[in-house]
Amino acid sequence: MSLAITYKKIPVPTPLPDEVLVHIRYSGVCHTDLHAMNGDWPLAHKLPLVGGHEGAGVVVAHGSLVSQEELPLGSPVGVKWLNGSCLSCAFCQAGDEPLCGKALLSGYTVDGSFQEYAVAKAAHVAKIPDGVDLEEVAPVLCAGITVYKGLKESGARPGEWVAIVGAGGGLGSMAVQYARAMGLRVVAIDGGEEKGVSSRALGAEGYVDFRMSEDLVGDVKRATPDGLGPHAVLLLAVQEKPFQQATEYVRSRGTVVCIGLPANAYLRAPVFDTVVRMISIKGSYVGNRQDTREALDFFSRGLIKVPIKTVGLSQLGEVYKMMEEGKVVGRYVVDTSK
Ligand code: NAD
Ligand code: ZN
């Protein structure tokens, strides 16, 4: 069911014993928020819903079980997609918290960061290093963590090539920068000149325009110096077609990592080629608390600089419209006070 945005005053939530109350200053706008609005995923969300899951702010109140030492009042924190998890199931114990059956999802199953005051489980809020700009860091809290984890899952090693599909968008821009910071070489794939310029400025060595290319598979392979194709592919686009193409241009023994979540889409790959070229196809879903810490560490060392545009929360509808049309380059961030 497709929903509409409404603005209204709601009470400041009271943190449960294991939660903190966060004064959200900025929140990134992720395509996932648009999926929630459009209701196009096979996953139910709460209603009415406060969206948003890239919230950067400061701790302003503690639940009774949270100590000042653990999360001092005024300390900078992030409210991310994984708002909480049970911490005791087999997945949580293994550090696979995103797979927890009781996971709480910000801006989806619990109210998120498109408001000034949000609650989040103390164990899961991201500790933002001191001195980091809250506006700039907001998109790391979903996009950054997700692509960093995806790059780790790809198994690509320094000096190897990775194709970033959807490189001009929010996750894609982050992915180009994380890949570079991890010593990888990047072929960017997206549509239009502006996204090509942006991807190259962020560090991509090659750019293939999916709208212009008459032989996308060949063009991606030729973008790697030996013509054998990239060692890994990160699929971040919100279209099904690139999910069908990736196994054709990935290098033999390469890995295709699926991250984007186009509605009603299926993966399709020829069994013969997948077997005889020893191709791996896998999914990657956000990241755990350790991935969060590492992704923020890259950012705080100045290695990740992604173009952001900040607008008031009151302009969220316009951002969704541009996103729907594929016109967002980099990430929009909303200022929750405007
Ligand atoms: P975005 O709209 O900012 O970016 C998507 C990009 O894909 C755009 O630049 C668009 O031009 C490009 N694109 C469209 N068709 C393409 C094609 N055929 N080939 C190459 N590029 C193409 O979206 P975003 O915020 O970066 O999110 C991307 C997707 O990732 C969404 O589906 C979102 O829900 C999903 N997501 C998944 C996770 C996860 O944990 N797996 C986490 C966050 C977001
Ligand atoms: Zn997201």
Ligand 1 binding pocket mutation candidate from 176, 261, 309 (most atoms within 8 A of CB): 261
Q: What's the CATH number of domain 144-283, 3.30.420.10, 3.40.50.720, 3.40.50.2300, 3.40.800.10?
A: 3.40.50.720
Q: What tens digit of pLDDT does each residue of 154-176 get?
A: 999 999 999 999 999 999 999 99
CB of residue 148 inside a 6 A radius of ligand 1:
no
Q: How far apart are CA 190 and CA 209, in angstroms?
A: 5
How many Cβ atoms are within 10 Å of 321's Cβ, its own excluded? Answer: 12
235 Cα: distance to centroid of ligand 1 (angstroms): 8
Task: Tell me what the mean pLDDT of segment 58-82 comes to.
Answer: 97
The ligand whose atoms approach the alpha carbon of 236 most closely is 1
Which residues on adjacent β-strands are paired with residue 120?
Answer: 20
How many Cβ atoms are within 10 Å of 271's Cβ, its own excluded? Answer: 7
pLDDT at 186: 98
Q: Which atom of ligand 1 is nearest to the CA of 29?
A: 25
Q: Is the per-residue pLDDT at 207 higher than 80?
A: yes
Q: What tens digit of pLDDT does each residue of 213-234 get?
A: 999 999 999 999 999 999 999 9
CB of residue 165 inside a 6 A radius of ligand 1:
yes
Q: How far apart are CA 256 and CA 243, in angstroms?
A: 9
In CATH, the number for domain 19-141+287-335 is 3.90.180.10
Residue the block writes with tokens 């497709």: 2
DSSP conformation letters of 243-284: HHHHHHHSPTT-EEEE----TT------HHHHHHTT-EEEE-
CB of residue 145 inside a 6 A radius of ligand 1:
no
260 Cα: distance to centroid of ligand 1 (angstroms): 5
> Which class for 239: exposed (0-12), middle (13-18), buried (19 or more C-beta within 10 A)?
middle
Cβ contacts of 250-253, under 8 Å, gap ≥ 24: 250/163, 250/279, 251/161, 251/224, 252/228, 252/277, 252/278, 252/279, 253/277, 253/278, 253/279
Token pair belonging to 319: 């951002």
CB of residue 175 inside a 6 A radius of ligand 1:
no
CB of residue 105 inside a 6 A radius of ligand 1:
no
Q: Is the per-residue pLDDT at 2 higher than 80?
A: no
State the pLDDT confidence band at 3, using cuts at 50, 70 and 90: confident
Residue with CA at minimum distance from ligand 1 atom 30: 260
Mean residue pLDDT of the chain comes to: 97
Pairing of strands 206-209, 185-190: parallel
Q: How far apart are CA 118 and CA 13, in angstroms?
A: 7
Domain boundaries, the chain: 19-141+287-335, 144-283
CB of residue 202 inside a 6 A radius of ligand 1:
no
pLDDT at 114: 98
Q: Is the per-residue pLDDT at 79 higher than 80?
A: yes
62 Cα: distance to centroid of ligand 1 (angstroms): 35
HSE-up of 211 (CA within 13 Å, CB side)?
9
Amino acid at 15: P
CB of residue 213 inside a 6 A radius of ligand 1:
no
Give Cβ neighbours of residue 40 (< 8 Å, ≥ 6 apart). 263, 264
Task: Tell me what the mean pLDDT of segment 17-45 comes to.
Answer: 96
Give the DSSP H/E element, type plus range, for residue 181.
helix 170-181
Tell me, rounded to whole angstroms, the distance of Cα 322 from its chain centroid: 18
Pairing of strands 161-165, 232-235: parallel
Residue with CA at minimum distance from ligand 1 atom 19: 190
Tell me, rounded to whole angstroms, the distance of Cα 314 from its chain centroid: 23
91 Cα: distance to centroid of ligand 2 (angstroms): 21
State the pLDDT confidence band at 1, using cuts at 50, 70 and 90: low
82 Cα: distance to centroid of ligand 2 (angstroms): 10
| Three-state SS at 234 | strand
Q: What tens digit of pLDDT does each residue of 87-119 get?
A: 999 999 999 999 999 999 999 999 999 999 999
Token pair belonging to 37: 């609005």
CB of residue 306 inside a 6 A radius of ligand 1:
no
Token pair belonging to 39: 């209701």
64 Cα: distance to centroid of ligand 1 (angstroms): 39
Q: What tens digit of pLDDT does each residue of 253-312 get?
A: 999 999 999 999 999 999 999 999 999 999 999 999 999 999 999 999 999 998 999 999
Token pair belonging to 72: 């001092």
CB of residue 166 inside a 6 A radius of ligand 1:
yes
- The rounded percent of the chain whose pLDDT value lies above 90 is 98
